[in-house]
Structure 1
Amino acid sequence: MQHDPVLHSKTLGADLRALRKARGLTLQDIADRLGRSVGWVSQIERDLSEPSITDLRHIAKLFDVPVSLLFGTPQAAAEEAGYVVRAGARRPIGSGDSGLVEELLSPDLSDDFEVVHSTFQPHSRIGEVVTRPTQEVGYLLSGKLDLIISDRRFTLTPGDSFRIKAEPFEWINPYDDPAVAIWVIAPPVY
């Protein structure tokens, strides 16, 4: 079986470690679920080995993240790497299927939180109620967005902020304009 190495950012290992820890999984858990050795998973997390495209697809499926998240971003200037994310170098996250376009504003997933730029397309709605073991805070930059948290509906306008603490929530943009928010999630889920 031949594996084609994939070019990825130098943060792939750190991102995988952060995803694993955020989900409370051990190296052994990941190895078992992928049918690989603990050593192989450890080498990927330490950026000592590059997974194949097929491996990346399996890893993305395991963590329920888009495979595009694992491909990394354009290289940042050496003095900016890990500190600055330029507007044209944001990593797209999520599938966009429900009308939500997300970009990672954090340099990687190795922090205790992640910061996401979210654009909710007009007349879009999340497909299901979401409950995750996180604390989330958001700030609406533009547009209007309806947010339902624990069966309470709120209409947000620019300048409004919100918090979700491991509660069921969903979002709806029934309006004619996109809504744009900055969303902070701890621990990282993407």
Structure 2
Amino acid sequence: MHHSLPDEPQTLGADLRALRKARGLTLADLAERLGRSVGWLSQVERDKSDPSISDLRAIAKVLEVSISMLFRHAPATATEAGYIVRAAARRPMGSKTEGLVEELLSPDLTDDFEMVHSTFEPGSRVSEMVTRPTQEVAYLLSGTLQIEINDTVHTIYPGDSFRIRGEAFRWSNPYAEPAVAIWVIAPPVY
């Protein structure tokens, strides 16, 4: 049986399975609470299926952990820990099928803010308006994004930035290219 070394990062599925077992829940228990099938959950735990950000929020809520716990980075070297996050060490979260994949850029969540790298897949959109008790500024690196803030739709191009302070918003990327943005969010919501 393969035992991973302490400095070897666990997969998301392995972390979810460990958290579920630590709470004494069976696959069936957790699937029922999530309103999902045991087969789907089993695939997520075996890293055969990528849960969406919405799925992860629901799972984190039931397991009573913050989503940020699931965004774990591979451990940094002693001299870099708390300071440097290497690109290869980040764990992408979310799914291309839902259309949003996010990575935590901050070394941890001990600051008054967090930095997140978001990739919005071509043709993706969030249908529900989102309202968060946060201040957020995003900068678009590439692609084109539509952001609706308080019923006004804005088209954002590379180099543009925008701010949301608790307003209801939703995004869409009706274009052929992925849109990539860096967000600074305070307080850290994940």
TM class by shorter chain equals 0.5 to 0.7
Aligned 1:54-73 pairs, distance under 5 A: 54=20, 55=22, 60-61=60-61, 62=64, 65=67, 68-69=70-71, 72-73=72-73
Write the mapping of 1:6-85 to structure 2, written as runs, cut at 5 A.
52-54=18-20, 55=22, 60-61=60-61, 62=64, 65=67, 68-69=70-71, 72-85=72-85
The one-letter code matched in structure 2 to 1:105 is L
Contact 2:7 2:75 in 1 (8 A): no
Provide TM-score, normalisation by structure 2: 0.66
Gaps (5+ residues) in structure 1? Answer: 1-6, 10-51
Residue identity matched to 1:137: V
1:169 aligns with 2:135: no
Residues 115 and 183, structure 1, Cα contact 8 Å, conserved in 2: yes
**Aligned CA distance change for structure 1 residues 8 and 186 (closer, same or farther; 3 Å):** farther
Alignment RMSD? 2.7
CA displacement 1:31-75 (0-9 Å, x = unmatched): xxxxxxxxxxxxxxxxxxxxx421479882245738733xx2211
Confirm or deny that 1:130 pairs with 2:130. yes
* TM-aligned CA deviation for residue 150 of structure 1: 0.7
- Normalising by structure 1, report the TM-score: 0.66
Deviation at 1:175, TM superposition (A): 0.2
How far, CA to CA, are the matches of 2:95 and 2:65 in structure 1? Answer: 14
Shift of 1:84: 0.5
Indicate the percent of aligned positions where both proteins have the same amino acid.
61
Instruction: State the alpha-carbon separation in 1 of the partners of residues 80 and 174 from structure 2.
Output: 39
Structure 2 letter corresponding to 1:180: V
In structure 1, the residue matched to 2:112 is 112
Q: How many residues align?
A: 141
Q: Residue 66 of structure 1 contacts residue 94 of structure 1 at CA under 8 Å; is this kept in 2?
A: no
- Structure 1 match to 2:188: 188
